[in-house]
Amino acid sequence: MEAYNSRAIVFANGELGARAVKRAGIKKSDFIVCVDGGLEHAFSLDIKPHLLIGDFDSAQAENVKAASDTGIDRITHPTDKDASDLELALEELQQRKFNEVLLLGISGGRTDHGLFNWMLPALKSRAYRLRLIDETVDAHVVNRVHPFKSTVQLGCIISLLPLREVAGVTTTGLEYPLSGASIKPGSTVGLSNVVCEKNVTIELTNGVLLMMINYKPIEQS
C-alpha cells in the first residue's frame, strides 16, 4: 500500500498539552491516526482523523460512532491481545510505508502505560523515522539507519537515553562530545548535555537510543 503522504501523526490516549501540539506543527497534509482514546485529542483540536485503531475501551462510544459515520477508516482489535493498541498502530504504519511517524499523547496517566509507550522504539527497527513529543521533550529515535542531523537552538539541554545497549555513539555540536562511545541501558553518561553549536549530529553503529531535546528551560526564560 502506498503512503498517503510522508508523515503520520499518531494521537495516543495519554496527556496532551499545548506545547506538544505546537511543537508537532500539524499540517493539513499529515495522515492523522487516532489510537483508541486518542480520538478525544483529535476532536478537541478540531482535527479529522484518517484512521482509527484499537479496541476502543477508552474512547467515548459516541465519538467513535460519529467518526465511523463520516466514513473514517477503522481497524478494531480485540481487548484480549498480546500487543498494545499503540504497538499495533506502529505496525500498521510500517505497512503503509511512511517516511516519518510522530507520536503525541504518550506520557501521563498510568506510569506503566507511559513507560511501555516510550520503550516501543526498542522493540524493532522500522523503516520510518520515529519521533515522540510531550510537554517537556522532543525525542528522536536514533539508530544506525536513522542518525540525527539537524539544527537545534543553542543552549538546549539534550539527553541520550539508550533503550538497549548502543555502540559507536559519536556526537557533534554538544558541549560534551562523544566519539565511538558504548552506553548501556541505565547509564547516565548521556544525561543533560548542552547544545553549543546549532548543527547537531548524533550517530551510532549499533543499538537504538532516544535523543531527547528538553525545551523547558528555553520556554521558561
Structural domains in the chain, CATH included, are 7-135 (3.40.50.10240), 142-220 (3.40.50.10240)
Q: How confident is residue 221, by pLDDT bands cut at 50, 70 and 90?
A: very low
Average pLDDT rounded to a whole number, residues 140-147: 96
What's the pLDDT tens digit per position in 5-32?
589 999 999 999 999 999 999 999 999 9
Rounded Cα gap, residues 182 and 106, in angstroms:
28
Contact yes or no for 41/134 (Cβ under 8 A): no
Q: What percent of the chain has pLDDT over 90?
A: 73
Strands 100-104 and 7-11, by their bridges, are parallel
Q: What is the pLDDT of residue 34?
A: 95
Residue that the C-alpha cell 510537554 belongs to? 135
What is this structure's pTM? 0.90
H or E element, residue 73: strand 73-76
Q: What is the DSSP string of 96-143?
A: TT-SEEEEES-BSS-HHHHHHHHHGGGT---SSEEEEE-SSEEEEEEE
List, for residues 170-194, the tens digit of each pLDDT value.
999 999 999 999 999 999 999 999 9
As given in the structure block, the three cell numbers for residue 137 are: 521533550
Question: What pLDDT is recorded for position 216?
Answer: 54
- How many CA within 13 A on the CB side of residue 145? 8
Over residues 58-99, the pLDDT tens digits come to 777 887 777 787 888 889 887 888 889 999 999 999 998 899
| pLDDT tens digit sequence for 28-60 | 999 999 998 889 999 999 999 999 998 887 777
What is the average pLDDT score of the chain? 90
pLDDT computed for residue 5 by the predictor: 59
Say how far apart CA 74 and CA 159 lie, in whole Å. 37
